[in-house]
Structure formats: structure tokens, C-alpha cells
Amino acid sequence: MSSNTLAKAAPSAAGPPATTTGETQPRIVRRPRTGQWLAAAVVLALLAIAANSVIRNKAFQWDVVADYFTSASILRGLGLTLWLTALVMALGFALGTLLAVMRLSANPVLRTVSWGYVWLFRSMPILVQLLFWFNIGALYPHILGVRTVDLFGPVTVAVIGLTLHEAAYAAEVVRGGILSVDRGQIEAAQALGLGRIRRWRRIILPQAMRSILPPAGNMLIGTLKGTSIVSVIAVQDLLYSAQLVYHRTYQVIPLLLVATVWYVVVTSLLSVGQFYVERHYARGSERTR
Amino acid sequence: MSTPMVDVKAVHKSFGTLEVLRGIDLEVRAGEVTVVLGPSGSGKSTLLRTINHLEKVDSGWISVDGALVGYRSSGDKLYELREREVLKQRTQIGFVFQNFNLFPHLTVLENIAEAPLSALGRPRKETLDNARRLLDRVGLADKADAYPKQLSGGQQQRVAIARALALEPKLLLFDEPTSALDPELVGEVLDVIKDLALQGTTMIVVTHEIGFAREVADTVVFMDEGRIVEQGAPGDVLDAPRHERTKAFLSKVL
């Protein structure tokens, strides 16, 4: 190719466009996105096949799902799952915050005890812990003159076990949040003469919340579903209530679907709630205004 | 002469094996502006931070308006004060940071009102009125409800000054107040500090702004390697320095 032909092919070359002299600007033509269209078509086709099989396959028994979805025993189970989740989150984060503050204190004994707690309770599977508390009577048959088995019913064991487990993780989440607050914030508060409690409540924790909330939202949703593990000690939560029904009727799949759909519904509501709580604590930050 | 507003005597301070302050003696009289100059690492910020007890001294002592900072003396011993008493002392010493350290989750007005409300227990209405007056004084009356991140660096530092003033301190400490600012914003902050100087506020200012030192300072202190090398009127220290270290430093920054 000679340099002469190159110059004649000017409109398609890498030089400046030829038509800039007049009023009209050159129009931008989008490169065809063939690959994107193809990928979307394949994914949609796979989805359609999956949806078709779920709707057409009679074994899903969606009519049975509908029948049991709002039955009294399922709703009672859902209720227990909800308050157990709320209680475990509240107690777990209260204890976790205490542990995080201990871990960051100047006192080496408090620091070590907090570290040891997190080490121990993160090491122990929650299932093992629940079974352990369930059988605590073997270690201490009587506590303060009362028979231990009377004190530690299945629900009490569930609350204790889940809370102690939750607190270990919450401690790390809260500690991460506190560490994310700029050291200068604490110094400014000290320089202004703000007392220790005021510094924590008004300056440090509200700012730490921004880093705490996303993992805490994860933990909340994890706990909601994680409470289903208490079915092994016969606590009648959402999953165990569904299991009680299918042990009687053998409609295993539809009742597991009942539980699943409820978990999805509650998780969705919690995600929406998380959005608004995060927005509240993001006030004053440039990225979200 | 009367007792100085700030009296620093034989102060030593180390971080690990690094001796940052190696015997500092300094007096600041009420109503005077002292500007501390020196290369980075010379200990000037640490000195400022020991004056409101953000850093504890290893030896020596500091008093502000006749009261020992952070300690109570009895016989030949100095006893550490409780945190509450230290916090109370700090309310009389305003501190302005290089990075402003405004509380980002509170509005400008809440930033200024926070300490008078919670540390001094002042009534709310009076405090908020006073906060608005202070904002007006630093030229930001219309920014009361803004959040700090919505302001420029210069505006944030002016809010930080208003926040320090809200406690009506006897003494103001400035730790490189313009070092984190874009060059075109330095002037507005220095103007506010000059204005305070004219009104007779006692101040110690750590800065690299030689022009500001010349214009506003009653005393210029030059520090290097944890010691005060020389001090005196700005005309003497800046124009006729006696020590080689001072000359070398000034020749670089002027």
C-alpha cells in the first residue's frame, strides 16, 4: 500500500474527522455489542428452562405449599424464629460490643480475656455448642439447688448457645468498626473535654456504625437462617415446625418450600430495612448525599 | 512581672527510644502570640500536645494560668490527676488540629455546640445562639446546618476554630492550622487567627507561615531536635538569627 492510497482513505483513518468545518458535528456510531446480546440470550434461555420445570413438575406440589403457608403451626414456628433471631442479635451485639471495648482497652487483662473469648467461641461449631449446653446437666446436675434440666430447657439452651456464638463474631465486627474511626476524632473529643462515655456514645460509635452495619446486616440474615439449627434440640422454629408436618404427611418437598419461601420473605424485608438504617448513619458523608 | 499564662519547665518526652523533647523551657504571657517554627521532627507539635496533656511528659512540668497540667503537686511529688479533672482543664485550652478533626456526622452547629453542652453543661438555647455568633465571627453564618464534608478545607478549619472558641478558653493552641490546606485557602484561616490575635487572645501557633509569624507574633520560637534553639521578637529571630541552625532553616523556607 502506498502512502498515496492511505491519504485518500482519510475518513476511516485515525486522523481528525473530515467534516468538522461546517455546523454539523460527526455522529458517534456505537460498536455492535454482539457478545453481550448472545450472553443475555443464553442466560435467559437457561432461566426459562428452569422456570418451566419448576412450574410443570407436579412433585413440587405448589397447592400443598399454598395450603400450609399460613397454617397456625407454621406461623407459630415463624414467630419463634423471628423473636429468637431478634433476641440473639440484641444480646449478641450487646455482649460483642462489651468484648470489643475490652479488647481495645489499655488493661492487658481485659484485652486478653476478650481475645480468649473470641478465640474459644469462634473455634467451637455452633452445633457442638448447642449439644453441649443441652447436656450441661451432666457436668452440673444441680445449680443453686434447682435441677439443671429444669433450668436449661431447649429454648433457653438455644438462646444461650446462639448468643455466645453470635457475640464472638459481633465483637470482631464492632472492633473493626471502632478501628475504622480516625484517631483524630478521639483526640478532638478529648481536647474538647468530652467525658469517656460521651465520647463513645456521641463520637465513636455513631461513626463506627457505618463500618459495622454491612457486616451486621450479613450477620442478622445469617442468624435468621442459622436459628434453624435449633431444630436439632427440638425447638419448634420455622424449620422444625415444617418438619413436624412432613413427618406426619410425608410431603417433604412442599413443606421445605414453605419454610424456604418464608426465609426469603423475611430476608428481603430485612435487606430493605438495612438500606434505610445505613442511609441514616451515612449522614454527613460525601459519597451518599 | 505577673505569672505567665503558660509556663513550661524542663520538659522531656520520648517515644520509645526516640527523644522528641530534650528539656524545653518556655514562657508565654497572657495576651501574647507565640509562633513556634522549626523543621519537621523538631518536636514542635509534640510540645503543643503536651500543653493540653494529649501527650504526657516524661519529666518536667507545665502550668497554664498557674495550674499544673495533668498533675497535682504535693511535697516533692506530682500526682496524676483523674481523667475528669484533666478533661476539665482541657476545656480551658482550645486546640486546633492540622486536619481539623471536625465530627463528620454532626452538622457545623452541632460540632460547635457539642462541648459547651456536654462538657460544661451549658443551657441549650444560649449555647446554640452563641455557636451562631461564633460562626458569624469566622464568616460562615450561612453554613450552620451543613456537614463538614460539604465545606472546603479553609471553611472546615474556620469551623474548627469556632468550635475551640465555644469553650471560651484562656489559651488557644494551633497545630499547623494551614498545612493541610490548598494554597489559596491559607489566607482565610490566617485572617481569622490574626483577628483573634488583635483581640488579645493568648495563642501558641505552630506553623510554617513565616509571613504570618512576622506580622502577628509577639515572640518567635525556633525549635530543632527537641530543643529551643533561639527565641525573641520576630524582627530579631527572623531577620537577624544568631544560630546557624536558624539561619539554615530560614534560608530554606523564605
* pLDDT at residue A288, as a whole number: 42
B60: left (phi over 0), alpha (psi -120 to 50) or beta: left
B107 → chain A, closest CA residue: A284
pLDDT in tens, B188-221: 999 999 999 999 999 999 999 999 999 999 999 9
Confidence check: pLDDT of A287 > 60: no
Question: Is-contact B172 B97, C-beta < 8 A?
Answer: no
**B149: amino acid identity, one letter:** K
Q: How far is A23 from chain B (nearest CA, A)?
A: 40
Whether A193 and B107 lie within 8 Å, measured CB to CB: no
Q: Collect all residues of chain A within an 8 Å Cβ-Cβ radius of residue B172.
A: none
Confidence check: pLDDT of A103 > 50: yes
B104 lies within 8 A of chain A by CB: yes
pLDDT in tens, B50-72: 999 999 999 999 999 999 999 99
Distance in angstroms (rounded) separating the CA atoms of residues B28 and B5: 6
Q: How far is A211 from chain B (nearest CA, A)?
A: 13
* pLDDT at residue A26, as a whole number: 86
Q: Which three cell numbers stand for residue B113?
A: 455546640
Distance in angstroms (rounded) separating the CA atoms of residues A236 and A243: 9
Whether A284 and B84 lie within 8 Å, measured CB to CB: no
Share of chain A above pLDDT 90, in %: 71
Q: Which three cell numbers stand for residue A276?
A: 434505610
Whether B90 and A285 lie within 8 Å, measured CB to CB: no
Q: Collect all residues of chain A within an 8 Å Cβ-Cβ radius of residue B148.
A: 284
Using a CB cutoff of 8 Å and minimum separation of 24, what contacts does B106-110 make?
Answer: B106/A284, B106/B147, B107/A284, B107/B144, B107/B145, B107/B146, B107/B147, B108/B135, B108/B140, B108/B143, B108/B144, B108/B145, B108/B146, B108/B147, B108/B148, B108/B151, B108/B159, B109/B135, B109/B144, B109/B145
Q: Which of B93, B95, B103 is facing A185, going by the closest CB pair?
A: B103
A286 → chain B, closest CA residue: B149
pTM of the model: 0.82
Question: Is-contact A192 A185, C-beta < 8 A?
Answer: no
Per the prediction, chain B carries an average pLDDT of 93
pLDDT in tens, B6-65: 999 999 999 999 999 999 999 999 999 999 999 988 999 999 999 999 999 999 999 999
B52 lies within 8 A of chain A by CB: yes
**Alpha carbon separation from A94 to A74, A169, B75 (Å, rounded):** 30, 12, 46
* pLDDT at residue A8, as a whole number: 52
Q: How far is A192 from chain B (nearest CA, A)?
A: 6
What is the ipTM for the molecules in this complex? 0.92
Whole-angstrom Cα Rg for chain A: 29
- DSSP letters for B97-109: -TT----TTS-HH
Whether B54 and A207 lie within 8 Å, measured CB to CB: no
Q: Collect all residues of chain B within an 8 Å Cβ-Cβ radius of residue A183.
A: none
B102 lies within 8 A of chain A by CB: yes
Beta carbons within 8 Å of A31's beta carbon, 6+ residues apart? none
Interface residue ranges in chain A relative to chain B, Cβ cutoff 8 Å: 182, 184-185, 187-196, 198, 202-203, 206-207, 281, 283-286, 289
B167 lies within 8 A of chain A by CB: yes
pLDDT in tens, A216-261: 999 999 999 999 999 989 899 999 999 999 999 999 999 999 999 9
SS3 state of residue B14:
strand
**A61: amino acid identity, one letter:** Q
Q: Collect all residues of chain A within an 8 Å Cβ-Cβ radius of residue B97.
A: 184, 187-188, 191
Domain A80-235: CATH architecture, name and number where available: Orthogonal Bundle (1.10)
Q: Collect all residues of chain B within an 8 Å Cβ-Cβ radius of residue A189.
A: 103
Q: Collect all residues of chain B within an 8 Å Cβ-Cβ radius of residue A187.
A: 54, 97, 101
pLDDT in tens, A64-75: 999 999 999 999
Domain ranges, ordered by start, for chain A:
80-235
Whether B107 and A284 lie within 8 Å, measured CB to CB: yes
Question: Is-contact A221 A141, C-beta < 8 A?
Answer: no
Q: Which of A184, A188, A193 is facing B87, going by the closest CB pair?
A: A193
Per the prediction, chain A carries an average pLDDT of 89
pLDDT in tens, A174-212: 999 999 999 999 999 999 999 999 999 999 999 999 999
B86 → chain A, closest CA residue: A193
Q: Which of B101, B105, B120 is facing A188, going by the closest CB pair?
A: B101
